[in-house]
Amino acid sequence: MASLATAELCDANPALIAKGELRVLQPVFQMFGHHSQSVRGQLTRGRGVLVIDGGGACGRPRRRQPGQLAQNMGWAGILVNGCIRDVDEINGCDVGVRALGSHPLKSNKKGLGEKHVSVNVGGAVIQDGEWLYADSDGILISKTEISI
């Protein structure tokens, strides 16, 4: 599918924005990884966007090589509400990664977490099954697939 620009999606869907069905995340995320196309996908295993709630912390970045793992599993991208590490490796992957920043410390997490739950990221609650649209202008969340 062709890339969709977030600015064009916003311009073409003001009613969805007014109703809260198309939401814009706060502009706090940095781009990592391959980002010549927009990150677009439904939040489902292996064909969408993985959303990780790191609690906004940058003292405990995510595990090593998340970009390569996501690429191998067929994800379109990763959105991390926290920091990542191994940025050079991530930048070599064909997966779009957005995070609050980078930090060299490794995660103190033990692989614990929940799947298919609501996550509060960037000033918006993201529900399982919603759609993410991202490019250099920002990140959008939609309850349904949208078009121009």
The reply, when asked if residue 98 is annotated as ligand binding, is: no
**Residue 54 falls inside a structural domain:** yes
Whichever domain contains 81, its CATH number is 3.50.30.40
Q: What is d(CA 95, CA 50) in angstroms, rounded to the nearest whole number?
A: 11
The answer to whether 88 is a known ligand-binding residue is no
Classified as helix, coil or strand, 103 is: coil
* Domains of the chain: total: 1
pTM score, whole prediction: 0.78
Domain span at residue 127 reads: 6-109+117-142
Residue 44 lies in a domain: yes
Per-position pLDDT tens, the chain of length 148: 346 789 999 999 999 999 999 999 888 888 877 543 444 444 344 567 888 887 777 765 555 566 777 777 787 888 888 888 888 888 888 888 888 888 888 766 665 667 788 888 878 889 988 998 888 899 999 989 887 7
